[in-house]
Amino acid sequence: MLVREEIPEKVAKELEKYPEILRKLLYYRGIKTEKGAESFLNPIFEENNDPFEMFGMEIAVERIFQAIENKEKIIIYSDYDADGIPGAVVLHDFFKKIGYDNFENYIPHRVLEGFGLNDEAIDEFAKNKVNLIITVDCGIADVEEAEKIKKYKIDLIITDHHLSRIDSKGKEELPKAFAILDSKQSGCNYPDKNLCGAGVAFKLVQALISRINTFDFKDFRLDGLTPGWEKWLLDMVSIATISDMVPLVGENRLLAYFGLKVLKKSPRPGLQKLLSIIKVDQKNITEDDIGFMISPRINAASRMGIPEDAFNMLVTKDDNEALKYAFHLNKINDERKGIVAEMVKEIRKHWNKFDPEKKRKVLVAGNPDWKPSLLGLVANSLLDEHDGPVFLWGREAGKTLKGSCRSDGCVDIVAMMREASDLFDEYGGHSASGGFSISLEKVDLLADGLEASYQKVCVSGSDKKELIADATITIDDVNNNLEKEISKLRPFGMDNPKPIFLLKNIEIFDTKVFGKKNNHLKIDFTNKKGQKISAIAFFKKPEDFSVKIEKGEKINLFANIEKSFFAGREEIRLRIVDIV
């Protein structure tokens, strides 16, 4: 059981105006000065980066203004996930705000068209005399598709945040577009390289608004469109930034921080209806509500049906239509959860037969009847119980099998696939998460091939990291004051994780399982005042832990501290991370 080191005296002195626990948590986030702390704790929106520092922004703005002036046909082509769809809404709302109607939003079908620009859609755009395509959260790797667009004499502006392609000689290969807005491309000096797709789209809108009064647009409404109006779009940017799990530091923290403030007041009927259905209090909405409640329902649209349903829910101004889409997304998300649960059960059964002694490190399973769009969710569920990477495959259309893979942190998933590259038709991703396609002829070789590649790639001693607490506290410390100090660091996410506290040798007052399926755990403790403090863990039971969870037993608890508003009742409670 490890607890982080005490902070240096010099840093403690520099941060002495803050309470001790906040000083520690700031230091553990790399913040060592009062100026840095003030910037982190009290962000100022006006200190966001100048959008024109992004390479390509000047010519992108000029080209869009030209299109507006000449009333050209514009396509906003976005990805189908909870980053691309809110990003598409950002551009949609801008054009609607100025009264420009000669544009359409296009979102490809996850299964039938796949990620990024595709040939059939491009052919349709050409037939419909489209003049300009603006991508959101895609396009940076679509070299051949960009070439085709150029041959059709359609201009292409790419807004993306993914990495560009690298050719066989190790050189960056960029699409031949009119402009590319992606801070990760070489030659771009934009200060923040970690914006999500919707974040890049937002910076484009910010740039457009800052220059719009320098152009003489006839027939368009520019009244009220002054610098600052774009803040109302931050509800979409916060959803995308948190959903896409980009680092919540730097400009991302700024956008998510103010985006949550806007989200609490967002007038979008679709959001309001959805929040009502899923029983999330809008005025108290948190990053957890986005990550666990809103994002899955946006993603359910493309995983279980058509992505336009999520887009339409977010842009509609009609209450009845908003309610219809919100109910639909919630319904198909419930269906999605049921299918995922059945797949998890089937894989557990298969794996227990295939490897009863648990000797293999790589869990590999597949079924032609499984939907590839759900496999990432299934793999995430299996990571909690499997000590090693998970590779799953399925098939939706055609002969090619498609899969998703996840790592528990003990190995780089892409390095594994690179080592076994002869097995795959295509593969990609990052160290913890990836995707692949494989032919039916090679799928029987996958389990042995990946087991061998794991042994080569996995570095000795690279098992899961031991859990480290930020501080040791007692049950008496769990109160409003501590939660208030912690909440100053919100929103939590990548590179700004929720603080973990260690409560040593605390006695269990009572335990129970709850929920419709009795699959959640609640443990009660009492403080010196006799007040009950609860700790909960969703989708966990007492037997899932290595120690006895019974009344009267003493345990060591790793937990987060949070404020719950369940059923309209405010409560400070613990969220169980682990029990030892």
Instruction: Choose the weakest-confidence range: 29-33, 141-145, 510-514, 516-520.
Output: 516-520
Please, which residues have CB within 8 angstroms of residue 320's CB and are 6 or more apart in sequence? none
SS3 578: strand
Most confident option among 87-91, 375-379, 463-467: 87-91
Q: For residues 196 and 246, is the Cβ–Cβ distance under 8 A? A: yes
Residues 499, 500, 501, 506, CA torsion sign: positive
pLDDT tens, position by position, 402-443 = 999 999 878 889 899 999 999 999 888 877 888 999 999 999
SS3 350: helix
SS3 content of the chain, % helix, strand, coil (to 5): 45, 20, 40
pLDDT tens, position by position, 136-171 = 999 999 999 999 999 999 999 999 999 888 877 788
556 vs 574: CA distance, rounded Å? 13
Question: Would you call the peptide bond into 296 cis, given omega within 30 degrees of 0 as the criterion?
Answer: no
74 vs 101: CA distance, rounded Å? 9
* Burial (CB count within 10 angstroms: exposed 0-12, middle 13-18, buried 19+), residue 480: exposed
Q: H or E stretch including 468?
A: strand 468-469
Helices (H), 29-160: 34-41, 57-69, 84-97, 119-127, 143-151
pLDDT tier at 222, thresholds 50, 70, 90: low
SS3 89: helix
User: At residue 416, what are phi and psi to the nearest 5 degrees?
Assistant: -60, -45
Q: Over 60: is that where the pLDDT of 460 sits?
A: no
pLDDT tier at 116, thresholds 50, 70, 90: very high
User: At residue 395, what are phi and psi to the nearest 5 degrees?
Assistant: -150, 135
**pTM (predicted TM-score):** 0.92
For 221-259, the three-class secondary structure string (H helix, E strand, C coil) is: CCCCCCCCHHHHHHHHHHHHHHHCCCCCCHHHHHHHHHH
pLDDT of residue 459: 63
Helices 234-243 & 84-97 angle (0-180, nearest 10): 170
Q: Over 90: is that where the pLDDT of 311 sits?
A: yes
pLDDT tier at 461, thresholds 50, 70, 90: very low
Instruction: Choose the weakest-confidence range: 26-40, 381-395, 414-428, 447-461.
Output: 447-461
pLDDT tier at 70, thresholds 50, 70, 90: very high
Q: Which of 311, 374, 296 is nearest to 136 (CA)?
A: 311
* Domains detected in the chain: 51-263 (3.90.1640.30), 264-337 (no CATH), 355-457 (3.10.310.30), 467-579 (2.40.50.460)
Instruction: Choose the weakest-confidence range: 186-195, 477-486, 567-576.
Output: 567-576
- CA torsion angle 18 19 23 24 (round to 10): -170
Q: For residues 207 and 51, is the Cβ–Cβ distance under 8 A? A: yes
360-363, long-range: CB within 8 Å, 24+ apart, which pairs?
360/388, 360/447, 360/451, 361/387, 361/388, 361/389, 361/451, 361/454, 361/455, 361/458, 362/388, 362/389, 362/390, 362/391, 362/416, 362/447, 362/450, 362/451, 362/454, 363/388, 363/389, 363/390, 363/391
Q: For residues 190 and 167, is the Cβ–Cβ distance under 8 A? A: no
**Greatest C-alpha distance within the chain:** 76
User: At residue 325, what are phi and psi to the nearest 5 degrees?
Assistant: -70, -40
Q: For residues 63 and 92, is the Cβ–Cβ distance under 8 A? A: no
* Burial (CB count within 10 angstroms: exposed 0-12, middle 13-18, buried 19+), residue 410: middle
User: At residue 332, what are phi and psi to the nearest 5 degrees?
Assistant: -70, -25
Q: Over 70: is that where the pLDDT of 555 sits?
A: yes
Q: How far is CA 389 from the centre of its chain?
A: 20
Name the residue type at position 330: N
486 vs 562: CA distance, rounded Å? 9
pLDDT of residue 104: 98
Q: How far is CA 230 from the centre of its chain?
A: 22
Q: Over 60: is that where the pLDDT of 447 sits?
A: yes
Q: Over 50: is that where the pLDDT of 462 sits?
A: no
CA angle in degrees (0–180, nearest 5) for 323-324-329: 95
CA angle in degrees (0–180, nearest 5) for 96-254-571: 105
Name the residue type at position 304: M
284 vs 260: CA distance, rounded Å? 9
User: At residue 174, what are phi and psi to the nearest 5 degrees?
Assistant: -100, 145
Q: H or E stretch including 505?
A: strand 501-507
User: At residue 84, what are phi and psi to the nearest 5 degrees?
Assistant: -65, -40
Average predicted confidence (pLDDT) for the chain: 93
Q: Over 50: is that where the pLDDT of 23 sits?
A: yes
pLDDT tens, position by position, 515-528 = 888 889 999 999 99
Q: Which of 99, 55, 94 is nearest to 76 (CA)?
A: 94
Q: CB-hemisphere CA count at 13 Å for 165?
A: 13
- What percent of the chain is predicted at pLDDT more than 70? 97
